[in-house]
Amino acid sequence: MVATENRQDIITLKEIFPHVKNLNFTVVPSDYQTPRNSGLKSRNLQYAIEAFHKKLNDQESTYIVHFDEESVIPSQYIEVLYQEINRGYYNQQDILCGPINYPLEYTKASFWSRGVENNRLFIIPEAAMGCLTQLPKQGYGSNMAVRASMEIAVGWDIGQCEEYPIIAEDILFLLLAKAKGAKLGWHGVLMLEQPALTVEQSYRQRYRWVFGILQSLAVLKNFPETKKLSFWKRKYMIFQVWLRCFLYGAGFVYGLLGTLANLVLLILLITDRIALQLEPVSVILLILWAASFQYGTYWHLKYQLVPWWFKLKEHSLVLLAAPILGLLDTAPAIRALWDWYILRKRSVVWQPTVKNLKKESVAEFLQPVRI
């Protein structure tokens, strides 16, 4: 099913994919309003699930897989996902999440924005562990397979935070589902998406993540599902998500101080004022830090039709620019924390991440990617 507010999207998709016969479309009416007055993406999702659940004959054995506008799962991976969901362990889980890589339009993005995106792949094991241990710390707006009965029971009518729409509906949905007793799992099937195309878009995107999570944590206690939890279980659920946001923002302070300290040490080393001494622990941490960007760079370049020298240049530039890329990645997080706790900001302006520098067909959009 495709849910959209723009009827032109339906016309465009039908023109591009005329051979697809079992694709359902729903246009969200401009005057549609949920009971809790949800806005933005959650409003559209709520309308879609209300329209979709009437067509389901077996809600228990049906899973709804969530895509974003530019999300791609290669056909062979779709088959794997289907087989995984039908296996004994997986079909006992109510929500299954999976990894996302960002190779689409990779070379069209600026170096700084795609470089920042390379660090995201390094946290996939953390995301998997959060699902497998039933302690989710981050939301999954895409590549999330949800049992239809659970999605209908929880719904997407998440309301507002101090009269402003909530901009991180995914983490709030996941926490509410967990409060309802949902079992989480990790299906491991890869989804492909694209990075933000400019540094400005990347900054707004990360700011929106953290600010939206803080909104979600602020309203979580108001839902009937969480009120039924014990006091300490509710607090722990909120704390472990908040701690991840805090550490994400604190990474900017740590990275800035570390970069300045290393510059001072480099100057002292060049001027022969100190001797070079390598501590084993420091070397290991340095390698892990550099590897976090190189790992993502490798997997993103794997999908690109580019010569070997371009890949070598990209790896080298990412290695040299890693200190700045780390600051670009964490600066929006600490800004969001500052705005929320110090400036007491609650207003939000929805600026979706631009997915194309120019208008082009989906076929053109997928052309440079080798699956």
Task: Output the pLDDT for position 303.
Answer: 87
> What integer is the mean pLDDT of 78-96?
83
Average confidence (pLDDT) over 30-40: 92
Q: What is the pLDDT of residues 245-289, one digit of tens each?
A: 999 999 999 999 988 988 888 888 888 877 777 778 878 888 888
Contacts of 116 (CB under 8 A, 6+ apart): 195, 199, 202, 325, 328, 329
Confidence at residue 352, expressed as pLDDT on a 0 to 100 scale: 60
Whether 364 has a pLDDT exceeding 60, the answer reads no
pLDDT of residue 356: 55
As a whole number of angstroms, the distance between CA 169 and CA 209 comes to 10
Q: Mean pLDDT throughout 12-29?
A: 80
What pTM value is reported for the model? Answer: 0.88
Give the integer Cα–Cα distance in Å for 129 and 41.
27
Q: What percent of the chain has pLDDT over 90?
A: 56
- Residue of 136, 200, 159, 183 whose CA lies nearest to 42: 159
Based on DSSP, count helices (H) and strands (E) in the chain, helices before strands: 13, 10
Residue 167, C-beta contacts closer than 8 angstroms, at least 6 positions apart? 40, 208, 211, 212, 215, 348, 350
Q: What is the mean pLDDT of residues 196-204?
A: 92
Rounded to the nearest 5 degrees, what angle is found at the Cα of 369, between the Cα atoms of 68 and 104?
35
Q: Tell me how crowded residue 180 is: count the other CB atoms within 10 A of its CB.
A: 16
Residue 3 has pLDDT above 50, yes or no: yes
Residue with tokens 């997997």: 299
Task: Supply the DSSP symbol for 116.
Answer: H
**pLDDT tens figures, 345-358:** 998 776 665 555 54
Convert the pLDDT of each residue in 125-169 to its tens digit. Answer: 888 999 999 988 888 889 999 999 999 999 999 999 999 999 999
pLDDT computed for residue 90 by the predictor: 76
Question: Mean pLDDT throughout 118-126?
Answer: 87
The answer, yes or no, to whether residue 82 has pLDDT greater than 80, is yes
pLDDT per position as a tens digit, 203-232: 999 999 999 999 999 999 899 999 999 999
pLDDT score for 351: 60
Residue range 288-339, pLDDT digits in tens: 888 889 999 999 999 898 999 999 999 999 999 999 999 999 999 999 999 9
Average pLDDT, the chain: 87
* pLDDT at 367 exceeding the cut of 60: no
| pLDDT confidence of residue 365 | 34
Q: What's the pLDDT at 334?
A: 97
